[in-house]
Structure 1
Amino acid sequence: MLEAFVFGTVLCGFFGIILKKNLVMKIVSMDVMSTGVIAYYVVIASLNGLFTPIMGDVKNRAFADPVPQGIILTAIVIGFSIQALMLVGVMKLARDNPTLETSEIEKNNTP
């Protein structure tokens, strides 16, 4: 059930990228899709166990794998930097164009 909701989040982001015409909304849709992919990775990584692998006297517990946590943190940082770079590009486009609609920008910039 949780996987279905996460997959729905990814699909909402994907269709937002395809169907929205505003550049800022496309960036937000890409962020939603990225969040869904990260959430799916967390759900899959936590299937084996939920306990933290800390040294102690507890035996035979189903521990969570700590490697995906590092990969997820890296994906969050990379996603944030890509989003910031795209927003700077949109700001530069907004300086030259009165709108952020893709069809209007294409109309204004085609020879």
Structure 2
Amino acid sequence: MAGGAVNTVRQLGYALGVAVFGTVLTSRMTGALPSGAAHALAGGGADALRGGFPEHTLRTAFASGLNGALLAAGLTGLVAGALVLLLVRTDRPAAAQASGAQREQAVPAHR
């Protein structure tokens, strides 16, 4: 059952991650390019845009968009890591120490 849950969450992460970070990429590129051109550039249509925009503008817009998407991905990873550290508790060491103490008392020492 846990394997199925992991696979489901992984697939959701792939689908939502690409969609969310692709949206961040495109929205950051619209600062330097019109919206239609930003969507074309994000979709791999740089060759079609080369005649209408200078090469430097296309590269700068893509670098800005990629910077925003990678920054968002990094922050998401840090937040997810912090949530794992906070939410995944291991209260068992105290119980393990207590059972370890009982084992030491039950086993006679060899001399």
Quick check: which has more Rg, 1 or 2? 2
TM-score by length of 2: 0.41
Greater helix content: 2
